[in-house]
Amino acid sequence: MTSERFAEVDHWIARHLLPPDPVLDEVLKANAAAGLAAIDVSRVIGSLLALLCGLVRAHRVLEIGTLGGYSAIHMARALPADGRLVTIEANPRTAEVARANFARADLVKRIDLRVGKALDVLPGLVDEGHAFDLAFIDADKENNAAYADWAATLVRPGGLVVIDNVVREGRITDDLSTDPQILGTRSLYAAMRMDARFEATAFQIVGTKGWDGLMLARRR
Ligand code: SAH
Ligand code: DHB
Ligand code: MG
């Protein structure tokens, strides 16, 4: 089976199950025009994130790694009118692209975009007294274990933590890897396994973004 087939099936599922969405299409166009890497979640995974927000009855969502806001828009739309999504982006230029996309999606009031390195921003969210129903971790993989630790503090009992890119075309199993991103995510697995605050699993995904995976961890 080829990766082209995986991508074709993703497109088929989107066409046959999900409504056409001109705003999401415009967002991806704006991202490409601004030169952002096309490393957002796929449409089907975006719809999964939205569905998970509904399952945990999310009012408050935390995202680490905004890029152009494609995943944030999926999740923010899944919130009630008084819901709020806080999303953290380190790159100010990228954050400006996201800000314009949030306006395009008419979500400016529902999305609180914080520009800065997540490890600098997260302590402030604790001080502000936030309690999130769901956290989506999708930034620099080197800090994945640290982000999961912050999520344990910031996500309420029964809430959900979702971590992207935990398979990386199978490279996650490479005991000899020296890639800091792989090492960071391997540390995440080790930390999650030992962490009594979470019930976690991970699974592989194929589609338009190749072969990767998600970790889901329920805050006990
Ligand atoms: N969640 C997005 C994709 C995020 S890509 C989507 O699916 O649409 C990863 C993003 O994390 C990039 O925009 C990158 O600039 C950002 N990033 C990298 N290191 C970061 C850090 N230390 N803190 C916050 N954001 C970071
Ligand atoms: C890549 C993909 C991602 O989903 C991400 O968050 C970061 C990088 C990539 O394919 O390089
Ligand atoms: Mg990702």
pLDDT tens per residue across span 191-208:
999 999 999 999 999 999
* 71 CB within 6 A, ligand 2: no
pLDDT tens per residue across span 138-192:
999 999 999 999 999 999 999 999 999 999 999 999 999 999 999 999 999 999 9
Q: Whose CA is nearest to atom 8 of ligand 2?
A: 39
Mean pLDDT of the chain: 98
| pLDDT band (50, 70, 90) for residue 2 | confident
Expressed in angstroms and rounded, the spacing between residue 47 Cα and the centre of ligand 3 is 15
Expressed in angstroms and rounded, the spacing between residue 138 Cα and the centre of ligand 3 is 5
Expressed in angstroms and rounded, the spacing between residue 34 Cα and the centre of ligand 2 is 17
Question: Residue 40 above 80 pLDDT?
Answer: yes
| pLDDT band (50, 70, 90) for residue 59 | very high
pLDDT at 119: 99
Q: Whose CA is nearest to atom 3 of ligand 1?
A: 40
Expressed in angstroms and rounded, the spacing between residue 81 Cα and the centre of ligand 2 is 30
Measured distance CA(52)–CA(83) in Å, rounded: 15
Question: Residue 66 above 70 pLDDT?
Answer: yes
Q: In CATH, what is the architecture of 3-219?
A: 3-Layer(aba) Sandwich (3.40)
CA 164 vs CA 37, 81, 105: distances in Å: 16, 27, 23
Atom of ligand 1 nearest to the CA of 118: 23
Best CA proximity match to 59, nearest among 39, 82, 38:
82
Query: What contacts 125, CB < 8 A, 6 or more positions away?
Result: 62, 86, 154
pLDDT at 1: 59
pTM of the model: 0.99
For 66-80, give the DSSP string.
-TTSHHHHHHHHTS-
Spans of all domains in the chain:
3-219
Question: Residue 75 above 80 pLDDT?
Answer: yes
| pLDDT band (50, 70, 90) for residue 77 | very high
* 140 CB within 6 A, ligand 2: no
